Amino acid sequence: MAARRKTTPNDPEAGPGFEEALAELEAVVEAMEEEQLPLEDLVAHYEKGSALLKRCETVLKSARERLELITLRNQAENALDSAAATTHGGAPPPETPEDDPDDDDDIRLF
């Protein structure tokens, strides 16, 4: 299992991990749906749920951006590897008419 990334107090992404925030959000929603809470408690639960939802969205966005970066990096490396293979030992370049030894009968103007 991969280790969780440590956050510092000044880290804009500081807060619970995705799984923790999602579990807490589910508990808040369940409490709001199942329990007979006073209005003040409902508002407090809603506020907490909104913050947890925002946290989940932030973590997902960050993960999506990291995955896109990894994909782009891999595509660039593959393109470089492909270009290197073509210039160093890949398929030979197509023959030009000047290179064809059997083409002695052609008349060339240039």
18-86 sits in which CATH class?
mainly alpha
**Measuring CA to CA, how many Å separate 52 from each of 49, 59, 103?**
5, 11, 76
pTM of the model: 0.59
- Structure tokens that stand for 16 in this block: 């619970």
| Interval 5-50: pLDDT, tens | 544 333 545 788 999 999 999 999 999 999 899 999 999 999 999 9
In percent, the amount of the chain with pLDDT more than 90 equals 53
Q: Are the beta carbons of 49 and 32 closer than 8 angstroms?
A: yes
The chain-wide mean pLDDT, for the chain, equals 80
Between 12 and 96, name the one with better pLDDT. 96
User: How is the chain split into domains, by residue range?
Assistant: 18-86
Distance CA 53, CA 49 (A): 6
